[in-house]
Chain A
Amino acid sequence: MQKFTTHTGVGVPLRRSNVDTDQIIPAVYLKRVTKTGFEDGLFSAWRGDPDFVLNQDAYRGGSVLVAGPDFGTGSSREHAVWALRDYGFQAVLASRFADIFRGNAGKQGLVAAELSQDDIEQLWKILEEAPGTEVTVDLEQRQVRAGDAVLRFEIDDYTRWRLMEGLDDIGLTLRHEADIDAFEATRPSWMPKTLPARTADSAEAPAS
């Protein structure tokens, strides 16, 4: 996971509340075998509409999504975060997130920043009046800056720390690699080993 301290990119106003994970990415995309390449599924039901915000030139290449309240509700699919990330979003700003979505976002390095709904409205206004305006998400200061506006956002301390350190769950565990090595060194020799491969044809196995 990349370390995240501050990010500046085009803001995309998504004036909708209750954007659930089925809308972020429909179930048909769940049959895939990869963890990347989900950008084509992002908001796929809406992308067909030429007026949809991501289809407008000024917002193309946007990386900061400014959404309505209760973003990411519904199914627990991690694919929703993958799709946003693969499309290029680094941060989602909203006044309320679904818990599981927020948790999944933190695992994948996507900042889910909570602002008051008034501040979200103010950002929408700025981004709609001057499409293509860049938004800065400053995790260190917990600040969002766009145009003249300087707004504060909430994110829990632990997630903020992990994002700033660039630590995903695996990265966190690997900080204790020395402990894992030490534990492994004490394992008895008879513990199961799949390699070198042995099968009933290469060893005497009982017939039951």
Chain B
Amino acid sequence: MAGTLAEKVWADHVVRRGEGNEPDLLYIDLQLLHEVTSPQAFDGLRQEGRALRRVDQTIATEDHNTPTIDIDKPIADITSRTQIDTLRRNAEEFGVRIHSLGDKDQGIVHVVGPQLGLTMPGITVVCGDSHTSTHGAFGALAFGIGTSEVEHVMATQTLSLKPFKTMSITVEGSLKPGVSAKDIILAVIAKIGTGGGAGYVLEYRGQAIEDLSMEGRMTICNMSIEAGARAGMIAPDETTFAYVKGRPHAPQGEDWDEAVAYWRTLRSDDDAVFDAEVVIDADELEPFVTWGTNPGQGLPLSAAVPAPEDFVDETARVAAENALRYMDLVPGTPLKDIAVDTVFMGSCTNGRIEDLRTFVDVIRGRRKHPDVRVLVVPGSARVRIQAEQEGLDREILAFGAEWRQAGCSMCLGMNPDQLQPGERAASTSNRNFEGRQGKGGRTHLVSPAVAAATAVRGTLSSPHDLDAPSRDGAATAAA
């Protein structure tokens, strides 16, 4: 029978088909752990005297609570420190591989897996974190789970689940210069809504997706969860194989050939039937930016802040009203006139080497706007090392931005990098919820290129705007 990519990967992991109304028992190839959602799961194992079934399919890193400066000093916040210490103790007790702060392989959990070559096509990946969907960029079935499920995987290496529905998102044509993967996914979410993907695995396909690098594909799959989806996937191809090949845990020799032969079978059959289908035209996309307090409230950068009356749907109108109040925005204001206090470049959405290169390409030879604080945070320690080898750090510092150590940083208000109440940020992260980046902080989600141009001009901008005068008329042309 014809199948979709998601159905094929699912079928290859069924340990036991559920009878009648029972869920399937699905095998999990890889579990990623971090300090926030693992402690109770370890505690549960201890309580029941259970072992962790496959330590060799488990890996831990520290990311959410970790500071990005002074990482050699004890963590000041007690709760954060306790969570980190607990993870370290648990990892030691159960024999789990851990990459702690200061280690070269430490970093955001979703950057670390792919970079070590652990994330591969056709595997199942789970983590107690909703952005586990990132790994679907390799054609893996990857999704976030709750703490009880983390414990369940630890003890059994399986999960009891009912199959997800499937949705294809075809992005036809090709992107204009300056338009990126981030703009595609923001446009997708704006189109289907933050609940549009609920219960589905989204499969992204079409020319524009095939043209993307692995970094770009990860950016897209990462934000599938912001459309409410269980997971996002992209069929593996030569780009995928080239990315995986040679990484520390990638298959080698004959194993490699065998793996690639299997991976090539991982695509939706031509006559496969999806439960829903969406088509987007890449040629028409522009840089996208959010104006509201959920990732679906986005518009092309050239648009203006919408008015609540623009929304026919009652719920959407009320949501817009609340969002505009929180964001302190006046309907009709051109988005490009919105001035920001902070630019955050980083997170598991856009904290990879290619993202940093894109950012630096835009700021090269320029100085940041004097009123804007610019934070550049690599997604992992390896990304930081790589960036420094390429000299990106020097350009970032010369631009006037801060160059930090790896971690989730300002993506969420759980570590010292936070917005102050009322502060406004252009952020390459994935959530613009109220208070997400710090209590009272206001977030506009953007791509790395838009983040860079905004850092130069002080107002939401695309690289095309760089030759125009900035908000206070200062010259911004390259020195």
Residues of A at the B interface (CB closer than 8 Å) are 1, 31-36, 78, 107, 168-170, 172-174, 176-177, 179-180, 183-184, 187-195, 197-208
Contacts and interface: CB of A to CB of B under 8 A. Distances in A.
Given A170-B50, A180-B158, A192 B40 contact: no
B156 A180 contact: yes
Nearest to A104: B148
B248 A200 contact: yes
A41 B158 CA distance: 33
Contacts of B157: 180, 184
Interface in B131-166: 147-148, 151-152, 155-158, 160
A62 to B, nearest CB: 23
A60 to B, nearest CB: 25
Contact of B29 (A168, A180, A191): A191
Contact of A192 (B29, B79, B353): B29
A174 B249 CA distance: 29
Interface of B: 15-16, 25, 27, 29-30, 39-40, 43-44, 47-48, 50, 55-59, 79, 82-83, 86, 97, 104-105, 115-120, 123, 147-148, 151-152, 155-158, 160, 243, 245-249, 251, 255-256, 258-259, 262, 353-354, 382, 386
Contacts of B354: 208
Contacts, number: 128
A199 B354 CA distance: 20
A192 B123 contact: yes
A194 B25 contact: no
A205 B123 CA distance: 21
Contact of A194 (B15, B48, B97, B382): B97
B353 A208 contact: yes
B264 to A, nearest CB: 14
Contact of B248 (A35, A174, A202): A202
A1 B386 CA distance: 49
Nearest to B82: A33
29 contacts: A1-B48, A35-B44, A36-B43, A36-B47, A107-B148, A168-B48, A170-B48, A170-B50, A170-B151, A172-B160, A173-B156, A176-B15, A180-B15, A184-B27, A188-B258, A188-B259, A190-B259, A192-B30, A192-B120, A194-B55, A195-B55, A199-B116, A200-B115, A204-B246, A205-B247, A205-B248, A206-B245, A208-B353, A208-B354
Contacts of B251: 190
A195 to B, nearest CB: 4
A195 B97 contact: yes
A194 B59 contact: yes
Nearest to B357: A208
A91 B157 CA distance: 31
Contacts of B118: 192, 194
Nearest to B125: A192
A198 B59 CA distance: 12
Nearest to A169: B152
A24 B56 CA distance: 39
A31 B16 CA distance: 36
Contact of B123 (A168, A183, A191, A197): A191
A179 B353 contact: no
Contacts of B259: 188, 190
B181 to A, nearest CB: 16
B246 A205 contact: yes
Contacts of A208: 243, 353-354
